[in-house]
Structure 1
Amino acid sequence: MKLYYIPTTRAVRPQWLLEEMGISYELVNVSMEMTKQPEYQKLHPHGKVPVLIDGEVTIFESAAICAYLTDKYPTFRLAPSPDSPHRAYYFQWLFYASVTLEPPVEHFMFDALPHLPEKLLPEKVRFGTSSDESRQWFDRVTQPLREALANNNYLVANQFSTADIVTGGVLLWAEKLGMLATDDPLTQYVNRLIQRPAFVRANERIR
């Protein structure tokens, strides 16, 4: 199993998941020059990361990779079983992280780091939202997340799951960008997640 990655990108999420599972995998460090090569673009049509190769399966999109691995290895119990009512909430937060939570963080990031490369987002979209507007957007979309974590350590049935990895991966960006206050419950949630031994191991492997 190979995971193609660039540090501090969405590739952190499946790498963290693999460490949680204790599955053997090879990390392939991708350079920006490599992403432009036709060989790599056969793996990811947009020349981005992450990409996972698992036997005959080649898959991109961090949340999709995480969902695939979680279902392939159910014995690690990182998602509710398909017949559990909690499975619906697992999917809810998994999609929420990518579709609802990530956009304001991404827009804030491009405002704070205007020279950050992005292969797909048009310039007028990248810079069409100010950092203040992105913060307000972020505060609105995180309200249900704060409510869900008000009396829980984790998002789904108060048990750590892949939904926490994908959601926490987005919030980790927000925290590093200064979008979270020290006393914010989401900061406490992020701190709880990054203290997990698997996350620490994932960080150590890319240094």
Structure 2
Amino acid sequence: MKPVLIALSLFISSQVFAQGFSAGLRTGATNWFSLNAHKEKSVVTKGTFTWNKEAYARYETKRGLAFEFSAMQYIPNQVEWYQAPLCMAGEELLSLNEKYNAAEFMLSVQYRIASDNSTKLKSYLGLSFSQTRVYSTTAVTIRDISTASVRNEVWKYTSGLVYCGVSNFTSYQLTKHINIVSALSFKFDPENIFERSRWDIDEYSPNSNVTWNIGCGYTF
């Protein structure tokens, strides 16, 4: 009897949880730029764009609160760290190949700000916190001028960044289970956005971004 009750309790719990659980895929673009509290220059407009691929899972409560976890992949356009000279004195750089990849893991806590049963439209607004890992691989071929010897070297770097900001999630219900979704967010790096030195206001170190991804979700 006890195993039956445990199985029944697990089934009921899963059904209650599944009522507000959804997951899906999104894709879109991010605009990266520098935003600093400098008295002479507040915004650097030399931003760049990246193309994103994202998977998400979210749970929406009946009281309007929602929790979402997402994982996003993109190829960064800008190096976010200082790179030392590749060649020493008396050496010649023959070839250089650089590859970059980035993954962002974000947790969002949102509250429903709009809901229309007639149009099956819902919208949420809240706070987001993310951890970004940037992976870099640099492969070089270097020739020693005096000996004419050639060597190949590969360097790998990993950097981590933390962002926080605001996010919006909007969904339109096509069928009982299928939704068209949109995710819009503004995030910034809290460690350097308030720096006032001119060193931080640099097009190679974007500290803020705006992301807009759209896609399709499935409600369980």
Task: Flag the structure with larger Rg.
Answer: 2
More helix by share: 1
More strand by share: 2
Output the TM-score relative to the length of structure 2.
0.21
Output the TM-score relative to the length of structure 1.
0.22
